[in-house]
Amino acid sequence: MKNEQQSGPQTRDAEDVVIPIVEEEVVAGTEAVPTGGVRVDKHVDKRIRKIEMPLVHEEVEVKRIPVERVVAEAPPIRKEGDVTIIPVLEEEVIVTKRLLLKEEIHIIRRRTQDRFVKEVELERERAEVHRLDARGRVVDPPQERVAEPVVVPRRTTASPAPARRRSILGGRPTEKIIKPRD
């Protein structure tokens, strides 16, 4: 009797019947299948643009102002606005020795600004997007997209030649080179 209970539906009482319930589950998955693609062609267009920028340079004017005044001690170098005044002294032998302010050197600085115009070549990139089928063939006409222009200034070698600095007391030019400011 034990064998009959295990092989057939199980019963607890004469009225209770146990029926097993079965549930199916679905497992879904995907597989990559090539259906098309995209090809991007990049082109560079060149155009000429004029740029204009200020160039600043300074000039120095040297004036010798005769003073011929006797002073007790050497006056200091002084500035009055853009003018630098350098006293030039000479000792004079008389019955007594006294200090004579012979002259003053006035150095006047002037700043000028010129306009500089030069043509430069600018480049702009544009992209063509092509849709491709599964075999890699173009399936639609190209769609052209132009990127926002980005201006990147290039340094040029067409700057004016640097000026040589001269001594304020005359003589040969010094080795220091004065370059215009960027």
Closest listed residue to residue 118, CA positions, set 55, 45, 167: 55
- Residue 72 token pair: 């007790």
pLDDT band, very low/low/confident/very high, at 4 (cuts 50, 70, 90): very low
Give the mean pLDDT of 5-14. 52
For 24-38, write each residue's pLDDT tens digit.
888 888 888 888 888
Mean pLDDT, all residues of the chain:
76
pTM of the model: 0.30
Query: SS3 for 144?
Result: strand
pLDDT band, very low/low/confident/very high, at 1 (cuts 50, 70, 90): very low
As a dihedral over the C-alpha atoms of residue 4, residue 9, residue 12, residue 15, rounded to 10 degrees, the angle is: -120
Q: Please state, in angstroms and rounded to a whole number, the distance separating the CA atoms of residues 110 and 58.
A: 6
Closest listed residue to residue 37, CA positions, set 127, 139, 144: 139
| Low-confidence winner among 12-16, 106-110, 169-173 (lowest mean pLDDT) | 169-173
